[in-house]
């Protein structure tokens, strides 16, 4: 450690990770039609001047894909840098699910590259078509007739897939009979010597299981049916590079010796299995497709021993949501914050991973688009005059992902979703901002709307809970005997509970907050001044004014200042997003960092007008805010300044702060006033719901 400022401190696009995948409902052009874009034409807006069509607008953004659920690069980072095992990775991204099991049942996969074509196949071993035996290396063809029956043909060619074979009819069968089957029913043991090869342009693509015919509105479809565990062998290595299993530290467990990168592939296996089994019969004639719109399936050619090991290690494991198999969407890169939706939005700390062998070049990206390209993508707008982001989701940089955007022009105003806008212009994701565009009215910085439902719970020294906005009370200690006053409050990750902590370290849990221990019966050198919960809500830390740390549940001890001589007492703490470190802050603004918490600066060497009273971590964990008792805000790392309390016109002193996922924050004063900044909703900027008798005893605030 080093002495700094008066305090002690520790100081290319991947080919296999697909761009836009897994919409909640899919219908593909070659499979089942197309989804319409979401467009709304509003009243015309006058245009004052014509902008040169070659004018360039620069888009800067994060991530690659929709961002829902896990990020493939992020989970590699959690495995090889963060030290997470498979279950911890899954718990991080899919925190509202539980692990369950599913049988190794058959799954039907649309081979989309062959949609609309005859089904032509062969095998190096004898096989059958429509129940008729066929010699090895002979081609067979299934051709759909106009009446819905299927003509079965056999080629005289005996050398495998040929370019222009000569066909001889075998017979005509119903669709239910139009099946090509290998010589074995144990698909797991198939090899290149006896598996079926689907002939595409003279080239054979190997698949385990059977190939069968299906009709979609008069057009032929090819369906590969095999057991789900065998199907995954063609998926996992197609979605996450198998060599990732060679990255990270070497560990030895009961399962053997391997490198921690394998955990990322194991998480991918569970996600892929859950996704595949979550929506059976999705297309009627098939359960799932083989393209990025579902999840990529490459058949036997994609299989790899590393990914096979990950599949075997997690055999049958699925994620359950409300008792049903969860539709576990995932994407290449979340950009540092997942998109939320079915699964709670979370910070994706390691999305920016860049180590030898794996570097996410799409964590931050930049591209240029001309005005003419936008006008071509959205012809309804006519001559473009403005681009306005009307709402964002509130999570991460820029105020979060663009949820709605409006284009103004000579033809009117066109409103589309951020996802539609990104897809039509070929942007990597809807997580972007933009600049440039001389002559255009550009407004990229809409205040996030997703936080309009933010609620706050204000705790008072007598144990009362006052709800503000959409905050919910799950109980309080008001009216009950307290040996010592309450000094802080912390919410559970799902916002369905909270803990209150007293100055003697007594813990009071409400809602789904569990009691994991306390210092209530211990003799403390100094009083407790604050607490922080672990990311999964299964533990917490307490901090005393001398910097002593007390850890309970799954909260791990990473160090303390308990044995140090401090210039000023500790007044608060904040945990890193992954729960593998924490910061302590003293009243002079000295920062003490432990575990994976990094030091980004402090006010330890500054002359302050008023003492520091609290801190909050930035959403990424790569920075923090400090707040002084006069409401002054000090920012470090990537924590951005959004404002501070006015110089006059208020009573009481600032005593605490709480941050939002979009970078906004609240300041709580000792008389119960709440001040909001940045993306924090202004609708809860008063004491309207805090009774005057309680205002003087406010001690902490929790965001819900």
For 284-300, write each residue's pLDDT tens digit: 999 999 999 899 999 99
Last-in-domain residue among 448, 475, 504: 448
Q: Does 121 score more than 60 pLDDT?
A: yes
Provide the sign of the torsion angle of the four alpha carbons 474, 480, 482, 486, taken in this order. Answer: positive
Helices 261-278, 72-80: inter-axial angle, 10-degree rounding: 140
Q: Measured between alpha carbons, how far is 502 from 486 in angstroms, rounded to an integer?
A: 4
The residue with greater pLDDT, 684 or 625, is: 625
> In this predicted structure, what is the pLDDT of residue 394?
84
Return the CA Rg of the chain: 30
Q: Is 278 helix (H, G, I), strand (E, B) or coil?
A: helix
Tokens 């071993």 identify what position? 125
| Average pLDDT value for residue range 484-507 | 90
Range of the domain at 51: 42-62+362-448
Q: Measured between alpha carbons, how far is 424 from 18 in angstroms, rounded to an integer?
A: 17
CA 592 centroid distance within chain: 30
Q: Measured between alpha carbons, how far is 604 from 585 in angstroms, rounded to an integer?
A: 10
In a domain, 4, yes or no: no
> In this predicted structure, what is the pLDDT of residue 363?
97
In a domain, 405, yes or no: yes
In a domain, 1, yes or no: no
372 shares its domain with 412: yes
In a domain, 333, yes or no: yes
Q: Is 595 helix (H, G, I), strand (E, B) or coil?
A: strand
255 shares its domain with 382: no
For 18-71, write each residue's pLDDT tens digit: 333 333 322 233 333 323 233 333 333 333 457 899 999 999 999 999 999 999
In a domain, 114, yes or no: yes
> Which phi and psi (to 5°) does residue 509 adopt?
-110, 140
Q: What percent of the chain has pLDDT over 70?
A: 87
For 186-219, write each residue's pLDDT tens digit: 999 999 999 999 998 778 999 999 999 999 999 9
| Average pLDDT value for residue range 370-385 | 96
> In this predicted structure, what is the pLDDT of residue 454?
64
124 shares its domain with 195: yes
Q: What is the side-by-side strand order in the sheet with 167-173?
A: 167-173, 150-155, 140-144, 119-123, 196-200, 203-207
Last-in-domain residue among 299, 332, 354: 354
Place 512 in a pLDDT band, splitting at 50, 70 and 90.
Answer: confident
Q: Measured between alpha carbons, how far is 120 from 142 in angstroms, rounded to an integer?
A: 7
Q: Residue 293 to residues 27, 110, 509, 692: CA-CA distances in angstroms?
A: 9, 12, 44, 56
Nearest by Cα to 661 from 703, 616, 704, 619:
619
> In this predicted structure, what is the pLDDT of residue 148?
95
512 shares its domain with 369: no
Q: Is 495 helix (H, G, I), strand (E, B) or coil?
A: coil
> Which phi and psi (to 5°) does residue 623 adopt?
180, 180
289 shares its domain with 337: yes
Provide the sign of the torsion angle of the four alpha carbons 515, 520, 522, 526, taken in this order. Answer: positive
Last-in-domain residue among 334, 354, 374: 354
How many structural domains does the chain have? 3
Q: Measured between alpha carbons, how far is 142 from 668 in angstroms, rounded to an integer?
A: 72
Q: Measured between alpha carbons, how far is 625 from 431 in angstroms, rounded to an integer?
A: 24
Tokens 């979605």 identify what position? 239
241 shares its domain with 265: yes
DSSP assigned state of 542? E
> In this predicted structure, what is the pLDDT of residue 453?
55
For 122-166, write each residue's pLDDT tens digit: 999 999 999 999 999 999 999 999 999 999 999 988 888 987 889
Q: Measured between alpha carbons, how far is 10 from 597 in angstroms, rounded to an integer?
A: 9
In a domain, 15, yes or no: no
Mean pLDDT score across all residues of the chain: 86
Q: Does 5 score more than 50 pLDDT?
A: no
For 630-654, write each residue's pLDDT tens digit: 888 999 988 888 778 776 666 678 8
Question: Which CB contacts under 8 angstroms, 24+ apart, belong to 535-538?
Answer: 535/92, 535/346, 535/493, 535/575, 535/577, 535/578, 535/579, 536/91, 536/95, 536/493, 536/579, 537/492, 537/493, 537/494, 537/497, 537/512, 537/513, 538/514
CA 642 centroid distance within chain: 26
442 shares its domain with 587: no
Nearest by Cα to 274 from 215, 319, 228:
319
142 shares its domain with 265: yes
Q: Does 665 score more than 70 pLDDT?
A: yes
Q: Measured between alpha carbons, how far is 369 from 89 in angstroms, rounded to an integer?
A: 36
Contact 409, 441 (CB under 8 A): no
3-state secondary structure labels for all residues of 293-324: CCCCCCHHHHCCHHHHHHHHHCCCEEEEECCE
320 shares its domain with 419: no
In a domain, 598, yes or no: yes
58 shares its domain with 77: no
| Average pLDDT value for residue range 249-277 | 96
> In this predicted structure, what is the pLDDT of residue 48?
41
253 shares its domain with 393: no
Q: Does 1 score more than 60 pLDDT?
A: no
Contact 609, 618 (CB under 8 A): no
For 421-479, write each residue's pLDDT tens digit: 999 999 999 999 999 999 899 999 864 444 445 667 788 888 888 877 667 788 888 87
Q: Measured between alpha carbons, how far is 143 from 134 in angstroms, rounded to an integer?
A: 17
Contact 273, 287 (CB under 8 A): no
In a domain, 31, yes or no: no
> In this predicted structure, what is the pLDDT of residue 446?
64
- Assign residue 555 the CATH number of its domain: 2.130.10.10
237 shares its domain with 378: no
């Amino acid at each position: 450690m080093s002495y700094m400022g008066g305090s002690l401190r520790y100081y290319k696009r991947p080919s296999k990770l697909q761009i836009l995948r897994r919409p909640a409902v899919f219908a593909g052009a070659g499979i089942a039609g197309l989804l319409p874009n979401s467009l709304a034409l509003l009243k015309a807006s006058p245009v004052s001047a014509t902008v040169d069509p070659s004018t360039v607008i620069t888009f800067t953004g994060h991530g690659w894909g929709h961002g829902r659920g896990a990020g493939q690069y992020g989970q590699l980072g959690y495995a090889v840098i963060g030290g997470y095992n498979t279950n911890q990775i899954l718990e991080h991204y899919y925190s509202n699910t539980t692990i369950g099991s599913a049988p190794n049942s058959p799954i039907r996969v649309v081979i989309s590259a062959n949609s609309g074509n005859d089904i032509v196949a062969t095998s190096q071993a004898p096989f059958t078509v429509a129940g008729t035996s066929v010699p090895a290396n002979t081609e067979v063809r299934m051709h759909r007739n106009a009446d819905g029956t299927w003509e079965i043909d056999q080629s005289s060619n005996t050398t495998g897939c040929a370019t222009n074979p000569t066909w001889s009819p075998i017979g005509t069968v119903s669709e239910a009979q139009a099946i090509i089957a290998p010589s074995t029913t144990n698909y797991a043991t198939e090899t290149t010597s006896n598996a079926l090869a689907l002939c595409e342009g003279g080239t054979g693509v190997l698949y385990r299981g059977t190939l069968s015919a299906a009709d979609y509105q008069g057009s032929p479809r090819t369906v590969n049916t095999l057991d789900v565990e065998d199907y995954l062998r063609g998926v996992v290595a197609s979605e996450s590079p198998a060599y990732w299993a060679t990255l990270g530290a070497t560990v030895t467990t009961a399962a053997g010796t391997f490198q921690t990168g394998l955990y990322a592939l194991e998480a991918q296996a569970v996600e892929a299995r859950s996704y595949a089994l979550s929506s059976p019969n999705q297309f009627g004639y098939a359960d799932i497709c083989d393209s990025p719109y579902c999840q990529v399936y490459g058949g036997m050619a994609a299989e790899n021993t590393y990914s096979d090991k990950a599949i075997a290690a997690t055999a049958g494991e699925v994620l359950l949501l409300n008792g049903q198999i969860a539709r576990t969407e995932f994407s290449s890169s979340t950009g540092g914050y997942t998109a939320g939706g079915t699964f709670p939005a979370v910070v994706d700390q390691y999305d920016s991973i860049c180590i030898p062998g794996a570097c996410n070049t799409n964590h931050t990206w930049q591209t240029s688009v001309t005005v003419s390209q936008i006008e071509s993508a959205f012809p309804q707008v006519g001559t473009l005059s403005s681009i306005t982001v009307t709402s964002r989701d509130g999570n991460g940089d820029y105020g979060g992902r663009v949820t709605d955007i409006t284009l103004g022009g000579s033809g009117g105003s066109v409103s589309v979703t951020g996802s539609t806008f990104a897809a039509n212009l070929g942007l990597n994701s809807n997580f972007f901002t933009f600049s440039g565009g001389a002559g255009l009215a550009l407004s990229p910085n809409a205040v996030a709307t997703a936080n309009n439902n933010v609620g706050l719970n204000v705790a008072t020294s007598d144990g009362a809970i006052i709800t503000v906005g959409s905050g919910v009370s799950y109980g309080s200690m008001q009216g009950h005997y307290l040996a010592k006053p309450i000094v802080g409050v912390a919410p559970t990750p799902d916002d369905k509970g909270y803990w209150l902590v007293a100055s003697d370290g007594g813990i009071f849990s409400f809602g789904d907050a569990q009691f994991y221990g306390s210092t209530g019966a211990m003799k403390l050198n100094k009083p407790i001044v604050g607490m922080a919960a672990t990311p999964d809500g299964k533990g917490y830390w307490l901090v005393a004014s001398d910097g002593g740390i007390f850890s309970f549940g799954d909260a791990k001890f990473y160090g303390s200042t308990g044995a140090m001589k401090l210039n000023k007492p500790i007044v608060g703490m904040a945990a890193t997003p992954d729960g593998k470190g924490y910061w302590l802050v003293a009243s002079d603004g000295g920062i003490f960092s432990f575990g994976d918490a990094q030091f980004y600066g402090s006010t330890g060497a500054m002359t302050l007008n008023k003492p520091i009273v609290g801190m909050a971590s930035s959403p990424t964990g790569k920075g923090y805010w400090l707040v002084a008792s006069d409401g002054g805000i000090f920012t470090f790392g990537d924590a951005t300044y959004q404002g501070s309390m006015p110089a006059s016109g208020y009573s009481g002193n600032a005593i605490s702060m709480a941050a939002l996922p979009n970078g906004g924050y609240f300041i709580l004063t000792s008389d119960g006033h709440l001040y909001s900044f940045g993306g924090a909703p202004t609708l809860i900027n008063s004491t309207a719901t805090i009774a005057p008798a309680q205002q003087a005893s406010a001690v902490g605030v929790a965001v819900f």
